[in-house]
Chain A
Amino acid sequence: MEINSFVIFIAAIFTSNILLTNFLGMCSYLSISKDMEASAGLGMAVFFVLTFTSGLNYLAYHYILVPLNLVYLQYIIFIIVIAAFVQLLELVIERFSPVLYYSLGIFLPLITVNCAIFGISLFMIIRNYTFIQSIAFGAGSGLGWLLAILALAGIRGKVREKMLPKGMNNAAISLIITGIMALAFIGFSGVVIIQ
């Protein structure tokens, strides 16, 4: 693919937002979006994981799987790499910021099964990105995810429970807000097409 890496980076945040355009990575996004600080923390963690795992998975794919003709193992190998990296990240966070570690709680290890992470790695293979492009794609998607979760947390903070019909205060209102945000982001489409 002959697209400039920087363009991929920007596109991954806006026009091809992993969450609002491709609808990947919804579960932890929906559950944690009530708390602004925890959302920011989780968003940063996802950003790191996406950036590094896209690079690591690129290396694993092109320098281990392809030469050994084991391309079909990519699903398992990508997951293993993601899981290992998230473990490492957990250890680092626990050491250097116990407050963040406790406020993320179960959601930190849950990043491992976040489909957005896995999806990014698969997309970069399908679209035949180079190493730099992959990193840019990963970083951009991470920032896009972070942006989406911050926006949702901010909006949810403004929506008071009394305004809503009974029972809508959790997943229902989150999905509606997300849908409206996705509609807004459609406005970016056509600016640049990377998928």
Chain B
Amino acid sequence: MKLTPQEVKIQERLKPGVVTLDGFLGKDKRHYNEIIAEDLEVLKGLAKTKEEIADRLDYLTKKALPYDEDGVVIDEIYDLQYVTARGRIISPFMDRTFWPKGIITLKNLQNGVEIRWTPLSIHLIRRYGFFQGKGATFRTEPSDLIKAIF
């Protein structure tokens, strides 16, 4: 399918060394449109919308923030830790948004699933359904994500 110049530019910004050191594509050679399409199909099968996932991640992030690196256990199930860094990171999708820098790690004490995300990755999921390319540092398969946070 023909790509608009904007889509070509955004794909470049998803590569390593432009917005983040390792980029958002991992080992995936596909265009982000295809990655999003496949993941959204999976979501449909799991009966969860991207907004529901993003809202849940936002809720957990907000709960983890006051505890910084010390970590906290929420609702007796979610073991969270939020490591922050100074400055803001720009969204690679050229939508003029900026996000706090930080990594939130979660371990679900009930089923043992461990995942991690960043405030930017929540925005990418919510707005674009972009879970990042296979092998990317902050990609979690939607199925694992849902298992971990719901």
B5 at the interface (CB under 8 A from A): yes
Query: How many of A's residues come within 8 Å of B, CB to CB?
Result: 1
Which residues from B are CB-within-8-Å of A106?
Answer: 4-6
Query: Mostly helix, strand, loop or mixed at chain A's interface?
Result: loop
Residue-by-residue, is B1-16 near A (CB-CB < 8 Å gives 1, otherwise 0)?
0001110000000000
Per the 8 Å Cβ criterion, residues 87-130 of A in contact with B are 106
What's the dominant secondary structure at chain B's contact region? helix
B4 to chain A: which residues have CB within 8 Å? 106
**A89 to nearest B CB, angstroms?**
20
Q: How many residues from B make CB contacts under 8 Å with A?
A: 3
How far apart are the CA atoms of A106 and B9 in the complex, in Å? 14
Q: How far in angstroms is the closest Cβ of chain B from A149? A: 20
Query: Whole-angstrom distance between the alpha carbons of A134 and B5 in the complex?
Result: 35
**Interchain CA distance A176-B35 in the complex, whole Å:** 31
**Shortest beta-carbon distance, A111 to chain B, in Å?**
16
How long is the Cα–Cα vector from A106 to B3 in the complex, in angstroms?
A: 13
Residue of A nearest to B6 (CB): A106
Name the distance in Å between B32's Cβ and chain A's nearest Cβ.
19
Within 51-105 of A, Cβ neighbours of B (below 8 Å) are at none
Residues from 161 to 188 in A contacting B, C-beta threshold 8 Å: none
B5 CB contacts on chain A under 8 angstroms? 106
Q: Find chain A residues with CB under 8 A from B6 CB.
A: 106
The docked-state distance in angstroms from the alpha carbon of A105 to that of B1 is 22
Q: Which residues, 1 to 55 on B, are CB-close (under 8 Å) to A? A: 4-6
Report Cα–Cα, A106/B5, bound state, in Å. 9
Question: Closest A-chain residue to B5, C-beta based?
Answer: A106
Nearest B-chain residue to A105, judged by Cβ = B6
Which residue of chain A has the shortest Cβ distance to B4 in the bound complex? A106
Within 8 A of A (CB), among B91-130: none
Q: How far is the CA of A106 from the CA of B6 in the complex (A)?
A: 10
- In the complex, how many angstroms separate the beta carbon of B8 from the nearest chain A beta carbon? 12
**0/1 interface trace, chain B 71-105, chain A, CB 8 Å (1 if under):** 00000000000000000000000000000000000
Q: How far is the CA of A161 from the CA of B90 in the complex (A)?
A: 31
* Closest beta carbon of chain B to A87's beta carbon, Å: 17
A83 CB to nearest B CB, Å? 17
Nearest CB of B to A81, in Å: 24
- B40 CB to closest chain A CB, in angstroms? 13
Question: What CA separation (Å) do A101 and B5 show in the bound complex?
Answer: 17
Q: How far is the CB of B44 from chain A (nearest CB, A)?
A: 13
A117 to B6 alpha-carbon distance, docked (Å): 25
- A85–chain B nearest beta-carbon distance, Å: 22
Distance of A108 from chain B, by nearest CB (Å): 13
Q: Smallest distance from the beta carbon of B15 to chain A beta carbons, Å?
A: 23
* Cα–Cα, bound, A57→B17 (Å): 49
Alpha-carbon distance A186/B4, docked complex (angstroms): 35
The 3 A-B pairs of least Cβ separation, nearest first, read A106-B5, A106-B4, A106-B6
A-B contact pairs, 3 of them (CB 8 A): A106-B4, A106-B5, A106-B6
